[in-house]
Every structure is written in structure tokens, then in C-alpha cells.
Amino acid sequence: MLKSHGCGELRAEHIGQQIRLAGWVNRRRDHGGLTFLDLRDRSGVVQVVANPGTSGEFHTTAADVRAEWVLQIEGIVRLRPEGMQNAELPTGQVEVEVHRLQVLNPAKTPPFLINEESEVDEMVRLQYRYLDLRRERMQRNLVLRHKVIKYIRDTLDRRGFLEIETPILFKATPEGARDYLVPSRLYPGEVYALPQSPQQLKQLLMVSGLERYFQIARCFRDEDQRGDRQPEFTQLDVEMSFVEREDVMALLEELYTGMLASLFPERQVQATPWPRLTYPEAQNRFGTDRPDLRFGMELKDVSDLAAGSGFRVFEAAVASGGEVRAINAKGCAGFSRRELDELTQFVASFGAKGLAYLALPESGEPRSSFAKFLATDRLEALRARLEAEPGDLLLFVADRRAVVLESLARLRSHLGARLGLYDSKLLSFCWVIDFPLVQWNEQEARWDPSHHLFTAPLPEDVHLLEHQPGRARGQQYDVVLNGHETAGGSIRIHDRALQERIFQLIGLEIETAKQRFGHMLTAFEYGTPPHGGIASGMDRLCMVLAQEPNIREVIAFPKNQAARDVMAGAPSMAEPGALRDLHLQIVDGRPGRPKG
């Protein structure tokens, strides 16, 4: 091999040894005839010294190299001189005296610094991702991801799970997001679909009697790119037979808790066992089913106090069936008019028509956008409801319930980060349970599954499917970590009659259901065990553990926010011959550019 040791492996016990290293020049320095190179490989960095007296002609070569050149070096490990040791570097006690140096490959000057962390435009980083991945931060993130996945694999293996691969090419069965379709060359006009998840396949593995399955699964969804999403992503997929909801939840909580104790002992988990919130409780307290429990500032319903206040905005919202809710931004009574206007603009982006405020200064009269409507008794009632003290700022949204919850939930998260209300190193898990089985789709005038159409209702709610389906709860459970949904699962339907009943409820005609899911319905007639599972998003989990702002930072080769690979230039136009082989013809759209 070209190397006998990793650069970052060298320690005092290696002093006197003849070694070979190979790696990249991290930094070069010239001092009084000596050339110092910091040589880097995946294991770390070590200082290399080229001395005219001991390195001979190789000293001249060392003086000519530049950052990111690839070198092989042979030499002797020696102790650094007194006063020259670097306690912040794992290899800081030693250096390598060069006896032989070979340039394996020179390098152009990179478009951004690799040997130090600096702000670089993300589009440039993605264009030169192979250089971006050389940076210490990115390599650390990928090592973290590897360790997390390895721990999961090893632990589930010890628990009797089998890792089973499921197909990437499968049947197109619309059940949520849009499928990525793969045209068939052998069967003109027919397509495969890339799996949005292995949902049907893992249930069929339970029908097959395998009982405990897992997979680190690649999933694909052709969604409009918004927020923190990727067209392809990775999830831990787990399914078990002969279990109830508590069994699945206990397994995942134990898995995560053990992984954190083993790999991240420095990270503090806020509460164990993890708190549990019902879906209605999460919505009412935090405005979302993905609550960040690291700080308070909970939503309070003040609709009863708003009614009859004389403030037309509040009264109109309540009269039309909406709500008035508020949060208490403690200690923020001194916010300026400009700051309040910025918050108003912020909530407007989530549908709110305005943001009313009530500032309670340490001294003097309250300031409010609806001050003239605040009779003493109503003011005191608001103070009590929101547990307000002098110095606090109360922020109100009045609108339809959905708008109120969404806008205040977003505002709460925004202020939590802006005001530094939580420790970014803290890990706050919770379970959210008792989701509605179905939700009414106003636009399409139909019931849609809250989770997916294979989720079983709670046994005590099955009778509601006939006349009150909106009140039926599903056996669904989500894991929320620091305000991010990192896992979700359910107990599945294992009875054909109940599954057909759900199809009918969501408006899926039985013949259409048989065409799309006939393989599932048929399988359910051959002794299907009760079963359930959970899928955990590896990208989002690793993002939170690495304390990164988005999932692209923990994926080796991600797409950008427009779902494009700017490094390779994908997607790209297919060759005409390839289109002919697939019996395809481009009939509209602008080649190489997304519609819209």
C-alpha cells in the first residue's frame, strides 16, 4: 500500500518508526529554509517537515507543492521541539521528518478554502461537492451517519430482525406524493414506479411469515421541492408481526436511547421516557403536530375573552367560527415598532391577516394595537390566561383555526430561535399519538388518510367509520425531535374487509382498488398476522444529531432546493435513441427546465 499509517493516527508511541503516508496538502509554510506541510487524509492531519540537510532533493519538491496536491511521503516520526507542540491537535506531539516525497497528483487552486471552515455559497459547494466533502465538517457528518446506521443494523440484528431488500422498480400505486415513473423498454406504454416507501412490500413480508424485518431503504417522491426535502431520501424501515402499538413504540425508543448513550454520551436527552402528546393536545398547545418541547411559549386560546371585546378583528373571527389565540414572548415588551412590523410580515407569509400585540412594560401603561378595547377586567383576564408579567409581549392572531395554529406555531419557533430560548445541544423527543384516521379534503370533497390508507383505526373507533369518520382515530404514532418529525408509523390493517371499507371511505372504487392493490387484498385472505411498524428518516435524524441546519449537510450528494444535481447536471435530456427504445416522445414542456 502507498501508506503504512493514517495521518491522524500518529502519536508519541510511533516516535522513531519509519512510516509511509499519503494524502492531501492541507497547508504549506516556509520557515528559515525548512518547509512545513500539514498532510491530511480521512483520519486527520499531521505535520511533515522537509529539511535541506535530511530531505535532500525532496526539500525542493516540498517547497513547490501547493494546497490539495496529493503526496506520498516516507520518513521518520519524531517528537516536536520543545514549545512547538500543539495540544489542540491529536497528532500535535509529533511530526514526520521527510526522507522521500513523491507528488502523486498536483491540483488546481480550489474555488473555496478546504482547510478551514468559511462561508461558501451553497450552489458553489454543490457544484464542487467532491471538494466540499473533503472539508472536516462534511467528513465528520458522514462518519456520524455511518455510525448511526451501523449501530441500528447491529442492534436490530441482535433483536432478531432480518435485513431484507425490497425492489426499487415496483408498481405505480398512487397513495400520497407523485411517483417517479420508469418507462419499460420491453413493454411499450407501461411503467415501473420508484417506491415512495416499501409500505406494501414490508406488509407482504409479514404475510410471508418473516415476522421481524428492517431495511435502510431508499425512497423516492416526485414532490415540489419546498423546505427541507429531497426527491430521494433514506429511512430506517421496521415492521413486526404479532405486535400492538406499545411494542413498536417501545422498540424505537429503546433503539434511539441506546444509540444516543453509545454514540453521543455528551448530548443530553430532555426527558426519558419520552413524553406523549395526543394530536389534539399538540395542536392546542403548540399549533402543530411537530412541537419543539425545548422551550415553553405555548399557545393559549383567548377566543372567549375576545368575544364581546368590541375589537372588530377579534369579534369577526370568533363570529365566523374562527379562533383568537396568543403566545407570551417573555421579556420582549421593549420590541420596537419596526420589530413588531417584521413579526407581522412573518405571520402574513403563513396566511395570517395581521398580528395584534399587547406590550406590558416594566413601568408605565401597556402598549397595544387594540388598547382602547382593553377594559381593566379584560386586561387582567388576558394577563392571567397568558401568565403574563411586567416586561412581557403578548402576540395575538385571529382567523380560521388552521391559519391561527400554523402562523402562531411558526412564530413560536421563530422567536424561540431568535431569543435563544433553548440549548441547541439538547435533544427533546416526544411521541404524538391519536391522530385522526382521516381528514376532510375541502378541495376534493372527500376523506383523505391522515397517515396512509393501510393504517388501522383504534378498535374502539371502528364503529365511527360509518357515520362519523372524522372522529375516528388511527393507530398512528410519530416521533418528534426538536420540532422535526423524525419517525412515523402505525399498526396496519390486516383484514381484507376492513381494508376495503377504508378504500370505500376515501372514495376509492372497489374495482380501482383491486387494480391498484389487488395483490394486497388477495394476500390478506391467506392468514395475515396483526402487524405494525415504523419508518425513521435517517437524513433528518442525522441532521439534528450533527446540529446542521438542513439535511443536505448530511447527504453525500444531495440535490439542490430545485431538485437538481448541479454537480453532474441532472436531470438532463435523454438521447433521441434512448427515447425511441423506450417508445417515448417529448410532446411539450421546455427541455431541461421544470414547468412553472
What stretches in the chain show pLDDT beneath 50? 591-596
Cis omega (within 30 of 0) on the bond before 273? yes
Please state, in angstroms and rounded to a whole number, the distance separating the CA atoms of residues 146 and 409: 33
Helix, strand, coil tally for the chain in percent (to 5) = 35, 25, 40
pLDDT at 288: 98
The CA distance from 440 to 189, in Å, is: 35
- How many residues does this entry show for the chain? 596
Crossing angle of helices 136-158/245-263, nearest 10°?
130
| Cell (9 digits) for 185 | 423498454
Phi, psi of 400, rounded to the nearest 5 degrees: -60, 150
Residue 539 gets which letter from DSSP? H
Are 582 and 261 contacting, i.e. CB atoms less than 8 angstroms apart? no
Quick: pLDDT tens for 362-390. 988 889 988 788 788 888 999 999 999 99
pLDDT tens column, 407-435: 999 999 999 999 999 998 999 999 999 99
Q: Which of 204, 244, 162, 201 is nearest to 527 (CA)?
A: 204
Residue 49 grid coordinates? 517537515
d(CA 480, CA 429): 6
Element housing 579 (H / E)? helix 576-581
Q: How many CB atoms lie within 10 A of CB 381?
A: 14
Instruction: Note the pLDDT of residue 594.
Output: 45
Pairing label, strands 276-278, 429-433? parallel
Given this model, what pLDDT does residue 175 score? 61
The structural domains of the chain, ordered by start, are 7-105 (2.40.50.140), 295-421 (3.30.1360.30)
Structure confidence at residue 172 (pLDDT): 84
Q: Residue 28 CA to chain centroid, in angstroms?
A: 38
- The reported pLDDT for the residue numbered 595 is 44
Q: Are strands 94-105 and 44-50 parallel, antiparallel or unpaired?
A: parallel
Report how far residue 48's alpha carbon sits from residue 65's, in angstroms, rounded to the nearest whole number.
13
* Structure confidence at residue 225 (pLDDT): 67
Residue 365: predicted pLDDT: 87
